[in-house]
Structure 1
Amino acid sequence: MANENVKLKPLGTNKYTDGEGGGDGNSPSSNEDYDPHLYREVENPTTNIETLIHLLKGCLGTGILAMPEAFKNSGLLNGLVSTFLIGALCTYCLHVLVKAQYVMCKRLRVPILSYPQSMKVALESGPQCLRPFAKYSPLLVDFFLIAYQLGICCVYIVFVGVNVKVVVDQYLGKASITIYILCTFIPFLLINCIRNLKLLAPFSTLANIITLASFGVVCYYVFQDLPDISDRPSFGRLYTYPLFFGTTLFALEAVGVVIALENNMKTPKNFGGYCGVLNIGMVVVTVLYVGLGFIGYWKYGDDVQASLTLNFPIHEPMAQAISILYSIAIFISYGLQGYVPVAIIWNTYIVKRLEGSSHLLAWEYLLRFACVIVTFVLALTIPMLGLFISLFGAFCLSALGFAFPAIMEICVYWPDNLGPFRWVLIKDVLLILVGVVGLLAGSYSCISEMVAEFQRLAAEGN
């Protein structure tokens, strides 16, 4: 998806594509005069402001409504400090990823590389012990990207089902969440069958307007009758901290969006830098997440729900309207998020195997149907919104957002450009450890909580 609108200008000699050396980068003098940004041809490039708006849109989804529950798992003060630290760490790792890709493009004299391609090229020029993994790395990166995007789609399905249920139950009586999720299957299937993203653009604009208006009403409810702040613990249990980590990472990290936006900018050099688009966008997003997480948990304490809208007095028409409007906005976003795994699977693994087939369109729609069915099966199997968010954040983004960029940076600067005392290597090893620990601890905590919740529901059923 990230590179669909980018045309690569022919350059004559290309070490990577011509097979000469695989991009070892040992003769930097031949690359000093090459700037990949100058050779990108983008059909509809975005300005700095447009890129910033897209970045904010990509980051402000269901995650922001889950932040108060994340603070419940960390404590008020711990959540405040930790969210700023995780936001800074996410931003730094995104800079590492973008810079590493730029260096590799410069060495290989190509305008652009996708995330999987970048990982492969980096490992090929890195430490000898990592090079055997190079040919498998694109598959691994694609796996995490696909799993993450399908995970987002699962979260969206559960979010819509839960929020519609609390409203409709007020008028028709209580029914199972399964029924509400199944009732949304056809609409989700139809929106995922839209093959042209331009057709979704007007709906995305509508979703942005709805989200902005709804956020104002959310603040109206949250800031009313705040209790004594001393009633909220400053620190939570160590066991639940990985749940906080996973939720916050899911909310803040947008690695796929960032790569796509940087690739499609009119002035990509303005993406990085101290006052670049990435820093400005991430600062705004982090402040919003910290603010709503802090105030939301302060307001509702341990009674806070996985989606903050579920805490509002649902008998009030305004609260009902917010739940429905947010559901509409998230439903529209499903079309965008579902497009990504379809594009990866179709373009990378399927279309080349169907070359010459007269039924390509039918096969593509079959893939789209399959992706929707998979997300619905997962959503019906584990309809736990908060744990879903934490699980996919911890499992996928710990790798995509922390470990992989750090590995790429080690390989890109290996062996002679790792800085004094090899501080780059030390720093990146620490980032890899953060990613691995976050993945294992976060996934374990989420799965344990899911098992405990299933056991509780089974006991209640008996």
Structure 2
Amino acid sequence: SCGSETGSLLSPSDHPSMTPEVKVPLLEGRGATPAQTLGNIVVSIVGTGVLGLPFAFRTAGWLAGALGVAGAGAATFYCMLLLLDCRDKLREQETEEDGLGVEQRCHGGNYTYGDLGERGFGPIGRYFTEAIIIIGQTGGSVAYLVFIGQNLSSVLPALSPPAVVLALLLPAEIALSFVRSLSALAPFSILADACTVLAVAAVVKEDVQLLAERGRPFAGRSAFAGLWGVPFACGVAVFCFEGFCLTLALEASMSNRGRFRPVLFQAIVGVTVVYVGFGVCGYLAYGDATRDIVTLNLPDNWSTAAVKVVLCVGLALTFAVMMYPIHEIVEARLLAPGGWVRRRCGGVVQRAALHLSRVAVVAALAAIACFVPAFGDFVAFVGSTVCALLSFVLPALFHLRFVGPTASPWALAVDYFLLLAGLVFAGHGMYTVLAPS
């Protein structure tokens, strides 16, 4: 999700100071075909944020929302290309410069997002980049809990408010957090993706039926609902284009890396078209009654209840996968040389401290989710702040750092535009939350 919302796994680095980054469960080893890579990209991008798109279109208007999603998709694709350009520049330096240390040579030309931060701005650059990744991952995890709480409360009113659902769910999530095998967690990610597809199909089926009954789908629906609705829609759209930090790993997994860019283009275009169609149809079907999670608009019958329950079960299971990078980084800091746990605790106490850290992190995120007032507002906030920094600001900054001296004036102008626009976008998202209502 920005912090990948779609069941992400870790790819540990060879460098002892590096914290692990996010990786999709299908991305194991090298030699992926274009078709496999296309599937990996789609899996890494599409998540539950798509179910908030119709509400974003209601807030912005169907035309403004469509343009916002298309713009977010185009900007995301361009910034992914910027990361690849930065990586290519570092590869050139790796082969041309003398005296590179073993730690740098061991990359073999494969760099992570954190590596770019460190090569460009030193240890501070790495820490800042990885902090943004973890904050984004945390936002995606909280969004999962908010989604589960609101949907199960709608199916079982006896479990209202959503905090009751989260309290009942907490022991199971804590138990799952103790599973340390990535191979054991990976199927949960795939299950969540299948559940999301099922929910989207159920919503589309209901949308089509309602639109057929209305006869005039655009009657009474606003094309442009106001200036301030556009940033909201863009924030939701940016959140939906998650998995950004997987770009370098996905490219490195291909047997023929030269084909990655056209495959990436096909994936982004396809996902953007689906997002626009889903958002427009959802808003046209429900109008001003569109809920922040569109599954809440579905009729109260057994099939809808089954879809919601299956979706929530899948997300609850894959929540442990979402938490994996957070646990890894927390534990890496606790066990770092000179760290408090390593200095003061023995083997058994160390293991207990690590288990306790997992319990504390899961409980803290569940507590945060209890105070999130609305799924749509939260997704827009995370998308317009953390995800904007991760997807637009940092790639433009890295590109200026590595490629800027040899870039064309047009490329420099685009970099500066993305950098400034991303900062303004993030500032606006922060202001809308902190400003008094």
TM-score bracket, normalised by the shorter chain, equals 0.7 to 0.9
Whole-Å separation in 2 of the counterparts to 1:138 and 1:239: 34
The structure 2 residue matched to 1:89, chosen from 75, 82, 91, is 75
Tell me if 1:320 matches 2:305.
yes
Instruction: Return 5+ residue gaps in structure 1 as ranges.
Output: 9-41, 124-133, 453-462
Aligned match of 1:23: none
Structure 1 segments, 4+ long, off by >6 Å, are 5-8
- The Cα shift of 1:351 comes to 3.6
Letter in 1 for 2:250: L
Letter in 2 for 1:388: F
When residues 200 and 284 of structure 1 are mapped into structure 2, their CA distance, relative to the original with a 3 A threshold, is same
String of CA shifts for 1:243-278, please: whole Å, max 9, x gaps. 212111101242123344334444433322xx22x2
The structure 2 residue matched to 1:257, chosen from 246, 253, 256, is 246
Aligned match of 2:114: 116
Aligned match of 2:268: 282
- The Cα shift of 1:215 comes to 2.5
8 A contact 2:51–2:200 mirrored in 1: no
String of CA shifts for 1:74-98, please: whole Å, max 9, x gaps. 1111111221111111111011112
Q: Secondary structure at the match of 1:64?
A: helix
Task: Let me know the Cα RMSD of the aligned residues.
Answer: 2.4
Whole-Å separation in 2 of the counterparts to 1:424 and 1:440: 24
The structure 1 residue matched to 2:407, chosen from 411, 418, 439, is 418
8 A contact 1:73–1:236 mirrored in 2: yes
Letter in 2 for 1:427: V
Whole-Å separation in 2 of the counterparts to 1:267 and 1:6: 23
TM-score by length of 2: 0.84
Letter in 1 for 2:148: V
Letter in 1 for 2:275: Y
User: Where do 1:402-413 residues align within 5 Å?
Assistant: 402-413=392-403
TM-score by length of 1: 0.80
Whole-Å separation in 2 of the counterparts to 1:399 and 1:268: 27
8 A contact 2:30–2:252 mirrored in 1: no
Whole-Å separation in 2 of the counterparts to 1:83 and 1:304: 18
Letter in 2 for 1:244: A
Q: Secondary structure at the match of 1:289?
A: helix
- The Cα shift of 1:45 comes to 5.3
User: Where do 1:196-211 residues align within 5 Å?
Assistant: 196-211=181-196
The structure 2 residue matched to 1:191, chosen from 155, 176, 180, is 176
The structure 2 residue matched to 1:166, chosen from 131, 141, 154, is 154
8 A contact 1:146–1:341 mirrored in 2: yes
The structure 2 residue matched to 1:378, chosen from 345, 361, 368, is 368
When residues 3 and 254 of structure 1 are mapped into structure 2, their CA distance, relative to the original with a 3 A threshold, is closer
- The Cα shift of 1:205 comes to 3.1
8 A contact 2:50–2:240 mirrored in 1: yes
Letter in 1 for 2:193: N
Whole-Å separation in 2 of the counterparts to 1:302 and 1:321: 26
**Corresponding residue pairs, total:** 397
String of CA shifts for 1:222-245, please: whole Å, max 9, x gaps. 111224303111112222322212
Aligned match of 1:12: none
8 A contact 2:45–2:243 mirrored in 1: yes
Letter in 1 for 2:426: L
Letter in 2 for 1:196: S
Whole-Å separation in 2 of the counterparts to 1:104 and 1:445: 38
When residues 362 and 282 of structure 1 are mapped into structure 2, their CA distance, relative to the original with a 3 A threshold, is farther
Q: Which has the larger radius of gyration?
A: 1
- The Cα shift of 1:387 comes to 1.2
8 A contact 1:66–1:247 mirrored in 2: yes
Tell me if 1:432 matches 2:422.
no
Letter in 2 for 1:433: L
Aligned match of 2:229: 240
- The Cα shift of 1:350 comes to 4.1
- The Cα shift of 1:365 comes to 2.4
Instruction: Return 5+ residue gaps in structure 2 as ranges.
Output: 1-7, 16-27, 96-106
The structure 2 residue matched to 1:4, chosen from 3, 11, 30, is 11
- The Cα shift of 1:331 comes to 1.8
- The Cα shift of 1:208 comes to 3.2
- The Cα shift of 1:148 comes to 0.5
Q: Secondary structure at the match of 1:86?
A: helix
Aligned match of 2:326: 341
Tell me if 1:143 matches 2:128.
no
Q: Secondary structure at the match of 2:180?
A: coil
String of CA shifts for 1:336-375, please: whole Å, max 9, x gaps. 2111222234346744435685244333323322321221
Whole-Å separation in 1 of the counterparts to 2:124 and 2:315: 34
- The Cα shift of 1:392 comes to 0.9
User: Where do 1:351-366 residues align within 5 Å?
Assistant: 351-352=336-337, 353=339, 358-359=347-348, 360-366=350-356
Tell me if 1:309 matches 2:295.
yes
String of CA shifts for 1:177-216, please: whole Å, max 9, x gaps. 2211211111222222221110023333333333333332
